[in-house]
Structure 1
Amino acid sequence: MAGHGFRPVYHPAGHDHALRNAVQDLRTGRWVAMARLLDETSDWDGWTRRTQVLAAVAAGTDVVHIWRTEQPGSLAATVMHSRVAVERAVRAHRAGHPRTRDLWHEAWTACREAADLAPDDPVPWVGLIALAALDGRQRMAEHRLAPPAPMLPPGPWGLLAEAEKRDPHNREAHHRMLQFVYARRPGPLSEAVNYSHWAASSAPVGSALHALPLYVRVERYRRERGQERALDLHWVAEDAVRDAQRALDTWFLFCATDEASVLDLNHLAHALFGALRFTDAARVFEALGPYYTTLPWAYRTPHPEDRVLAEEVFVRARARCLSG
């Protein structure tokens, strides 16, 4: 596996072969495989993950609209409609599109409708948290509630509570909250650091939230343009090594790695590699198999937008760890 000729694979479905098949059908304009897959998904973790991936693919198509037209009573189609609407609003905001406000309103309405029709589902609430990150000035009252603990900022804590009520420690809900914290204060990352450690501290063993602090560390590295320093001690600092070790000990060693987020696994492999914990990193690379994600590896290159460079960094890091 560490030898020459290895080519990593990027696919949003990762190890989820059933999801990969549904994505393939979705890309050809068909919704039946997606509907069947969601009908067979019985846990909220899988439901949240699969609807997120499917929405990212469907956002540039009218497949979900066709599905809703043909099956107007489908709750899954209603939730997917909210998912796609949120994805489109987030993309428009990122691109500075003039229709962002309209798309945000459509997505907010779609999420509220989905929450009413599927009251046990955490995904509509996750969508509302994602939309809160677009309200950087916290104009809406529900986006500036008092935090549940000291050192945390005001925010959409009521929305997070609704998601948590339905699926405690929902991975995406907390990642969306982290995006909100970034958007609220683009300067120092102290609030994001506090948030990530607060979320991880209350998570049970095996929860992906134990990897959340690794994302904040990568964001700090990106903002400080760490790859430009001749001597980079960012990843071997005591707190960086501690974050990587905690994610390994409290998440990776207890989770079903074939069901884990490929992005989380890449962040852990990246953190352990940077901390010079090559043997531990090798275990994560083995769990990844052929799958990789462009981030966080791209931030170790002089041109983070160049996927080829990111892939090269991943391959070199993987080979170094597995060769040991």
Structure 2
Amino acid sequence: MPMPLSRPVYHPAGHDEALRAVLQDLRAGRWVSTRNLLTETPDWGLWTQRTQILAAAVAGSDVVRAWRAEEPHSASAAVLHTRVLVERALRAHRAGHRQTNDLWRDAVGACSTAAALSPEDPVPWICLLSLAQLDEGQRWDEHRVAPPEPMLFPGPWQLLAEADKRDPGNREAYHRMLQFVYARRSRGPLTEAYNFVQWASASAPAGSPLHLLPLYVRVERYRRESGNERALDLHWISEDATRGALRALELWFDHTRPGTASLLDLNHLAHALWGAHQFHDGLRVFRALDPFFTTVPWTYRTHSPGDADAAAEVFVQARARCLAASRGPG
């Protein structure tokens, strides 16, 4: 019988051991290992994931600026610099900072520079998609393009198409589009979000992380309803919730290598399977996660959303329930 699972820990790099080592260097102001890692990154999906994590970790420092000063023609440095500027603009927007518009403008300019240096890279277009959520009134023409299907909404569809052309089904690109929908409709029903994720996942191939998108919208609805008892009953043990969790397991988890998967995706799937009382399948995902976890979505099951310790406790309880079910009675 496998040993009991360990106490979960959070690390943005998760199972990506190479990225964990590089993050330590970059936070200490050393960028050479970052350059080497990005040079060796084999595909756009992993490139997107690594650049996002690296930029979030050093958005408050000038280490990437130092790299660009040393290697001004480096496409990798330009992309990571763009990532940092976008992260700063998004953080300023969330904080209601008066410099948000200036940071936004700088980030848009960096996107253009990075796209020119590396025209095959989806990340500059993903960054523009990220910034689209700041245009809350959809004043920019590129943020209110007609949708590809009548049931969808006007939005930055051309930006998504550019990212999709370079890396079809890119996980972050579609999540950024979903965040745009949330910003467009910050209150009320999530009809537009549901329509979008159903459209996105319907034609996705087996193994695509787009099959996880409906689970995210379900969690967002639960969060907006403050996790009341009615939401609990309807969300997690309904036929629709169970079908969605099992579909994501079959079409994504069973076709992917968990070691390279997004930690957020694995946590959302484990959470959905546990909530739907699919404990045996849930345990498979918990084992793939070991020893890592993310606070979301578990934090929404606590009385203190944002408390990492409380989220970890819910995670441990859910995992223990799945483990107990796998052992059977007695």
TM-score, normalised with respect to structure 1: 0.97
State the distance in 2 between where 1:143 and 1:117 align: 24
**Offset at residue 285 of structure 1 (A):** 0.4
State the distance in 2 between where 1:227 and 1:102 align: 40
3-state DSSP class of the match of 2:103?
A: helix
3-state DSSP class of the match of 1:232?
A: helix
CA deviations over 1:10-67 (Å, ceiling 9, x no partner): 0010100000001111111111111110011120011000000000011011000000
**Offset at residue 7 of structure 1 (A):** 1.5
State the distance in 2 between where 1:60 and 1:38 align: 21
Q: Which residue of 1 aligns with 2:105?
A: 105
State the distance in 2 between where 1:230 and 1:68 align: 49
**Offset at residue 3 of structure 1 (A):** 4.0
State the distance in 2 between where 1:230 and 1:174 align: 26
Indicate if the aligned counterparts of 1:193 and 1:213 stay in contact, CA closer than 8 A.
Answer: yes
CA deviations over 1:219-252 (Å, ceiling 9, x no partner): 0000001245596342011211111111001000
Q: Which residue of 1 aligns with 2:134?
A: 134
State the distance in 2 between where 1:287 and 1:276 align: 18
Are positions 1:214 and 2:215 aligned together? yes
Q: Which residue of 2 aligns with 1:274?
A: 275
CA deviations over 1:265-303 (Å, ceiling 9, x no partner): 000000000000000000000111111000000000111
CA deviations over 1:180-208 (Å, ceiling 9, x no partner): 00001112100001101111112110000
Mapping 1:168-247, distance limit 5 Å: 168-186=168-186, 187-227=188-228, 232-247=233-248
Are positions 1:59 and 2:66 aligned together? no
Q: Which residue of 2 aligns with 1:147?
A: 147
* 5+ long unaligned stretches in structure 2: none
Indicate if the aligned counterparts of 2:93 and 2:134 stay in contact, CA closer than 8 A.
Answer: yes
3-state DSSP class of the match of 1:178?
A: helix
Q: Which residue of 1 aligns with 2:254?
A: 253
State the distance in 1 between where 2:231 and 2:244 align: 24
Indicate if the aligned counterparts of 1:227 and 1:300 stay in contact, CA closer than 8 A.
Answer: no
Q: Residue type matched to 1:163 in 2? A: A
State the distance in 1 between where 2:126 and 2:319 align: 33
Mapping 1:31-70, distance limit 5 Å: 31-70=31-70
TM-score, normalised with respect to structure 2: 0.95
Q: Residue type matched to 1:255 in 2? A: T
State the superposition RMSD in angstroms: 1.3
* 5+ long unaligned stretches in structure 1: none
Are positions 1:291 and 2:292 aligned together? yes
3-state DSSP class of the match of 1:314?
A: helix
State the distance in 2 between where 1:268 and 1:158 align: 30
Q: Which residue of 2 aligns with 1:161?
A: 161
Q: Residue type matched to 1:146 in 2? A: A
**Offset at residue 75 of structure 1 (A):** 0.6
Aligned length: 323
CA deviations over 1:96-144 (Å, ceiling 9, x no partner): 1110000000001100111111100000000000000111110100000
Q: Which residue of 1 aligns with 2:305?
A: 304
Indicate if the aligned counterparts of 2:225 and 2:231 stay in contact, CA closer than 8 A.
Answer: no
Are positions 1:91 and 2:52 aligned together? no
